Chains A and B, each alone.
Chain A
Amino acid sequence: MLIKDVIIIGAGAVGCALAKVFSEYRMNVCVIEKEADVAFGTSGRNSGVVHAGFNNKPGSFKAKFCVEGSRGFENLAEELGIEYKKTGKLVTGFSDDDRKKLEELKKRGEINGVEGLEIIDGNRIKDICGSVKGNFALWSPQTAVFDPFEYTIALAETAAANGTGFVFNERVIEIKVTDSGRFKVMTENNSFESDILINCAGLGSAEICKMLGVNRYDINPCRGEYHILAKPGKNNDIGEPKIPVYPVPDEKKGVLGVHLTPTVGGNLMAGPGAEFIEDKDDYANEEDMMKLLSEGMVRLIPDLQNVPVIRSFSGIRPKLTDSKNEIIEDFVIEKSEEYEGFYYLVGIESPGITASMPIAKYLFDRIEKDFGESFEKKKNCKSRKDMFSRREYKGLRKMVCRCEGVTEERILRAFDDIVLLGAEPTIKGIKNRTRAFMGSCQGCFCTIDTTELLGRERNVSPDRLTYSGKGSEMFEGILK
């Protein structure tokens, strides 16, 4: 029987999936995250689609884990208690060239093991989604949508309920290996030790690798911008499409192209663009790209020109290049040859979230094999509900966010869950857990009420309230 100390760097979807898998065994697991909360990086900035797996090269990690992830997602969602909608997806085409590409995609998908793929004609497109333009399309019935915040948070909470420790606002600056072969992970304020070290640092993963002498990877940040459209409501009856609609992918750029995705929350998103940038923290939106997105979405569904955009945002794909600056197409999941117990995952971009749980399971099995002995499974594993969202909030059902129907109770529950996880309560963290601030008023009304509520019930003074952690203070303080 082995009991190991495990450190996971990065509280994104992959880091949290690994934490969940490890937490089912008798190990001491700690997740170190530089941001204030989970899913503040790439995991919280994407389309929220469970990909079926027809876009990826047969035989690749991407193809294998994406198809496995897609098949297992419904059960996983049920286990985690999160929303999952199997909507299916259309990839629409117009020209003969498009048709050829779609046939290739279908063939590729079938080799990968994706079920139910069909090329359909214009009439079938109309049946599935009336407002979509296209002469024909690839129909993928297995594709689904989910909430990437909810997913990552649920993984983290399940891991925490089973004893995983999380530390936030700790950026790793140096890693040493002790004489006994243990890893000493240094952050700005602390140091942590472990036998096993797993690098799931997403955009920062190449940097972490370099701290332990693995120099052959570089992250090439590739930004994808999105528009979020107002929900269909009593005054906006364009409720289409209810399923993700994609154009034929752009092979040259290795991206899926500007597509439309309904979120589980009921908004429609248009995006992402694809643009290589210098700075991997530059989550800006650019005027030209915003215009391109608006045009792109109207090309797919003309009626969308009448639906207001309520917010634009961007995510950054950690595209991978090797030391010769050649693009590496696949996920890299490797172990250090020099330091036993150091594992690294780099270049985990789309379909990274879909693949996150299979990646975690694969890596766990591999680590177990490397150590040559079985890890001992806990007798009783807990669910996140055993630890989180357990408090009662009597008489606190007043509405804070009318757009999304969020009550005081839910805001406070989110706040308390964030504290329980060891994260720092922020407006963004509350937003990701409740959907307050995500509605069509974008916080015009709920900023005031949330500030008042947190002051009244949790003693948070307005000058301590941040949007996304230190430096993003919402207010200056008391006026007089």
Chain B
Amino acid sequence: MEKREIVIIGAGPAGMAAAVRLNELGYRDVLVLEKENSAGGVLRQCIHSGFGLTKFGKNYTGPEYRHIYEEMLLNTDVGLMTGATVMEAVSVDTYNCSCSPEERINDSVLNVVVRAQTASGAESFAASAVIIASGCRERGRGALGIAGTRPAGVFTAGTAQGMMNLRNVKVGNRVVIIGSGDIGLIMARRFTLEGSRVICVVEKENVCGGLERNRRECLVDFGIPLLLNTVVCRINGRKRVTSVVIRNEDGAEKEVECDTVIISAGLEPEDSFAEKNTKGMFYCGNALYVHDLVDDVSECGENTAMDVAGFLLAQMKKKDFDSAFSSENIEEMRKKRRDYVAKIRIEKNNTKDEGRYIVCTQCPNGCRIDTQNFTGGKCEKGAVFARDEVENPKRILTSSVRISGSERTVSVRTEEAIPLSQIMQSMKVINTMHVAVPVHTGDVICENFNNLGTRLIATGSEMSMNP
């Protein structure tokens, strides 16, 4: 049993931010456990842009945002153990009940025991404080109760995203997406860019579930229909999906041929391994509750780190410390969040893009700009954005480029936004390109990409052909 002052479970955006902040606060005995082989969490597969607008005032892709935090993390004394999957995090009392008298922990400073599995076997850690930064998981088909058969070709959006962006695998040709949450929208665009046909996105509510920015840039840009008040009520196909049946609010049903069904029907905190109401256990990021923006997740990680510091100081003085992020208060935090999300949904329902108005997507403020006189923005960006949207919409193109001599890819972006009208043609160019390893985040892959006057740069990094 290894003893640590603080153990952080998960090296995604929440865990990395918490670790960096704890290091800034002077904590030197911090260990981060990460189940994947590198830090970054879900950011590694989120190769699209839209990250860092509030935190850094820049529009980064997921891998770039990850890179910034990874660099910060590597410049600290924080220990990072990769390939370590946490199977259980329990209070010392619970642990003591289940082990032999010799193994018991009698150190009053230690509160939590974490058991992890690594490539070489099981490892256990006892810590004064543990931060659960394990992110969230997707709700799958079972939770939706969709009737029909169980063929291959039904994936959650995150799984499809991982297969495409991390493994260079083509998931399907004709795609129906269930749920208009952000990942569903992002995947609608991603499938379209990579040559698959997205037939429709169905949403059971009467309003798009994802951010307005994503609705516009992922669906409207590509003419993908969003069917509101509609559900997929049946999946057909003996071996691979052959069709789905969709049903609208009037009960009218229609069969839609497809070979792939993508489910983006909500996320849930992934904390099934953590014992409830455990002293010294704290939550942050999407493991606390699901956030819309990674910037907020990082912020949450930092705030939790502050509370952990407060807790450790109080424990030293043998005092109590009340934290909103503590295991004991988690349900209250989640309830508050649920109420907030419900409120936002109602507000959103009342402020739809009604043709005349465009919701500015340059930052999360979401100002409604009147396209007749370009007013309504809280800052000058709004008018510029709306004018461009009307006259010549531009987008940052994100995709991946094949690594020479390997079946793997590295994620890329255009440095500047390019005309929307050039996007599909630019994809053809990207798909013929190769890049040699090693390639680092920020490396220029092409100076004048597709003669559009912008550079194509790597957002991820790959050191060798087959790691």
- B213 interface hit (Cβ, 8 Å): no
A228 and B142: CB pair below 8 A? yes
- B156 interface hit (Cβ, 8 Å): yes
- A405 interface hit (Cβ, 8 Å): yes
- Give every chain A residue within 8 A of B238 (Cβ-Cβ): 281, 471
B142 and A308: CB pair below 8 A? yes
- Give every chain A residue within 8 A of B171 (Cβ-Cβ): 475-476
Known A398-B85, A398-B119, A444-B140; contact A472-B240, beta-carbon cutoff 8 A: yes
The residue from A283, A442, A447 contacting B149, defined by CB atoms under 8 A apart: A283
What is the CB-to-nearest-CB distance from A49 to chain B, in angstroms, rounded to a whole number?
22
Q: In this complex, what residue of A is CB-closest to B163?
A: A448
A276 to B44, CA, bound (A): 49
- Which has the most chain A C-beta neighbours within 10 Å: B169, B274, B276? B169
- B167 interface hit (Cβ, 8 Å): yes
Residues of chain A from 424 to 463 with CB closer than 8 A to chain B in the complex: 427, 440-445, 447-448, 451-452, 462
- B117 interface hit (Cβ, 8 Å): yes
- A40 interface hit (Cβ, 8 Å): no
- Give every chain B residue within 8 A of A467 (Cβ-Cβ): 151-152, 239-240
- Give every chain B residue within 8 A of A427 (Cβ-Cβ): 152
Known A462-B167, A467-B152, A479-B409; contact A395-B120, beta-carbon cutoff 8 A: yes
- B307 interface hit (Cβ, 8 Å): no
The residue from B169, B274, B431 contacting A477, defined by CB atoms under 8 A apart: B169
Residues of chain A from 390 to 436 with CB closer than 8 A to chain B in the complex: 395-399, 402-403, 405, 407-408, 427
A407 and B147: CB pair below 8 A? no
- Give every chain B residue within 8 A of A462 (Cβ-Cβ): 163, 167, 169
Q: In this complex, what residue of B is CB-closest to A235?
A: B272
Known A308-B143, A480-B431; contact A447-B159, beta-carbon cutoff 8 A: yes
The residue from A309, A442, A466 contacting B145, defined by CB atoms under 8 A apart: A309
- Which has the most chain A C-beta neighbours within 10 Å: B194, B238, B271, B431? B238
- Give every chain A residue within 8 A of B87 (Cβ-Cβ): 399, 402, 405
- Give every chain B residue within 8 A of A445 (Cβ-Cβ): 137, 159
- A252 interface hit (Cβ, 8 Å): no
B147 and A477: CB pair below 8 A? no
What is the CB-to-nearest-CB distance from B121 to chain A, in angstroms, rounded to a whole number?
5
A438 to B33, CA, bound (A): 25
- B189 interface hit (Cβ, 8 Å): no
Known A283-B149, A451-B163, A480-B400; contact A311-B168, beta-carbon cutoff 8 A: no
Known A235-B271, A479-B164, A479-B409; contact A397-B173, beta-carbon cutoff 8 A: no
User: Contact mask B110-152 → A, CB, 8 Å, 1/0?
Assistant: 0000000111110000000000000001101111010111111
What is the CB-to-nearest-CB distance from B283 to chain A, in angstroms, rounded to a whole number?
13
A476 and B172: CB pair below 8 A? yes
- A332 interface hit (Cβ, 8 Å): no
A397 and B159: CB pair below 8 A? no
A283 to B166, CA, bound (A): 33
The residue from B140, B147, B163 contacting A285, defined by CB atoms under 8 A apart: B147
A196 to B238, CA, bound (A): 33
- B170 interface hit (Cβ, 8 Å): yes
- Give every chain A residue within 8 A of B272 (Cβ-Cβ): 233-235, 403, 440
The residue from A407, A443, A470, A479 contacting B168, defined by CB atoms under 8 A apart: A479
- Give every chain B residue within 8 A of A397 (Cβ-Cβ): 117-121
A473 and B240: CB pair below 8 A? yes
What is the CB-to-nearest-CB distance from B236 to chain A, in angstroms, rounded to a whole number?
8
Size class of the A contact interface (CB-based, 8 Å): 35 or more
- Give every chain B residue within 8 A of A470 (Cβ-Cβ): 239
- B402 interface hit (Cβ, 8 Å): yes
- B207 interface hit (Cβ, 8 Å): no
A457 to B66, CA, bound (A): 28
Known A313-B150, A402-B35; contact A234-B141, beta-carbon cutoff 8 A: no
Known A405-B87, A479-B170; contact A447-B240, beta-carbon cutoff 8 A: no
- Which has the most chain B C-beta neighbours within 10 Å: A290, A395, A468, A476? A476
The residue from A312, A402, A441, A451 contacting B169, defined by CB atoms under 8 A apart: A451
Q: In this complex, what residue of A is CB-closest to B269?
A: A235
- A478 interface hit (Cβ, 8 Å): yes
A228 to B145, CA, bound (A): 11
- A310 interface hit (Cβ, 8 Å): yes
A398 to B122, CA, bound (A): 9
- Give every chain B residue within 8 A of A440 (Cβ-Cβ): 272
B168 and A478: CB pair below 8 A? yes
- A214 interface hit (Cβ, 8 Å): no
- Which has the most chain B C-beta neighbours within 10 Å: A282, A309, A311, A397? A397
Q: In this complex, what residue of B is CB-closest to A229?
A: B142
- Give every chain B residue within 8 A of A477 (Cβ-Cβ): 169-170
What is the CB-to-nearest-CB distance from A289 to chain B, in angstroms, rounded to a whole number?
8
A235 to B239, CA, bound (A): 35
What is the CB-to-nearest-CB distance from B365 to chain A, in angstroms, rounded to a whole number?
33
Q: In this complex, what residue of B is CB-closest to A286?
A: B147
A480 to B171, CA, bound (A): 12
- Which has the most chain B C-beta neighbours within 10 Å: A395, A475, A476? A475
What is the CB-to-nearest-CB distance from B53 to chain A, in angstroms, rounded to a whole number?
28
A398 and B117: CB pair below 8 A? yes
User: Contact mask A148-167 → B, CB, 8 Å, 1/0?
Assistant: 00000000000000000000
The residue from B121, B151, B170 contacting A472, defined by CB atoms under 8 A apart: B151
What is the CB-to-nearest-CB distance from A187 to chain B, in angstroms, rounded to a whole number?
19
- Give every chain B residue within 8 A of A451 (Cβ-Cβ): 163, 167, 169
A448 and B274: CB pair below 8 A? no
A284 and B170: CB pair below 8 A? no
What is the CB-to-nearest-CB distance from B201 to chain A, in angstroms, rounded to a whole number?
19
The residue from A235, A443, A473 contacting B276, defined by CB atoms under 8 A apart: A235
- Give every chain A residue within 8 A of B83 (Cβ-Cβ): 398
Residues of chain B from 5 to 37 with CB closer than 8 A to chain A in the complex: 35
- B357 interface hit (Cβ, 8 Å): no
A475 to B167, CA, bound (A): 11
- A287 interface hit (Cβ, 8 Å): yes
A448 and B166: CB pair below 8 A? yes
- B321 interface hit (Cβ, 8 Å): no
A466 to B83, CA, bound (A): 27
- Give every chain B residue within 8 A of A128 (Cβ-Cβ): none
A448 and B142: CB pair below 8 A? no
What is the CB-to-nearest-CB distance from A319 to chain B, in angstroms, rounded to a whole number?
21
Known A472-B151, A479-B168; contact A444-B159, beta-carbon cutoff 8 A: yes
A397 to B145, CA, bound (A): 34
A466 and B152: CB pair below 8 A? yes
B276 and A285: CB pair below 8 A? no
A453 to B273, CA, bound (A): 24
A284 and B148: CB pair below 8 A? yes
A477 to B271, CA, bound (A): 33
A290 to B148, CA, bound (A): 10
- Give every chain A residue within 8 A of B166 (Cβ-Cβ): 448
- Give every chain A residue within 8 A of B285 (Cβ-Cβ): none
- Give every chain B residue within 8 A of A186 (Cβ-Cβ): none
- A474 interface hit (Cβ, 8 Å): yes
Query: What is the interface of chain A, defined by CB distance below 8 A to chain B?
Result: 228, 233-235, 281-287, 290, 308-313, 395-399, 402-403, 405, 407-408, 427, 440-445, 447-448, 451-452, 462, 466-480
Q: Besides A283-B150, A476-B170, 13 other CB < 8 A contacts?
A: A234-B276, A287-B147, A397-B120, A398-B118, A399-B35, A402-B85, A447-B163, A448-B166, A467-B151, A467-B240, A471-B240, A474-B153, A477-B170
Query: Please, could you name 27 A-B residue pairs with CB atoms under 8 Å apart, sorted by A?
Result: A234-B274, A308-B142, A308-B143, A309-B143, A309-B145, A310-B142, A311-B141, A398-B83, A399-B85, A399-B87, A403-B272, A405-B87, A405-B117, A444-B137, A444-B159, A448-B163, A448-B167, A451-B163, A452-B167, A462-B167, A466-B152, A467-B151, A473-B240, A475-B171, A476-B170, A477-B169, A479-B170
Across the A-B interface, the 6 shortest Cβ-Cβ residue pairs: A471-B239, A399-B85, A467-B152, A472-B239, A476-B170, A310-B142
Query: What is the interface of chain B, defined by CB distance below 8 A to chain A?
Result: 35, 83, 85, 87, 117-121, 137-138, 140-143, 145, 147-153, 155-156, 158-159, 162-164, 166-173, 194, 233-234, 238-240, 271-276, 400, 402, 407, 409, 431
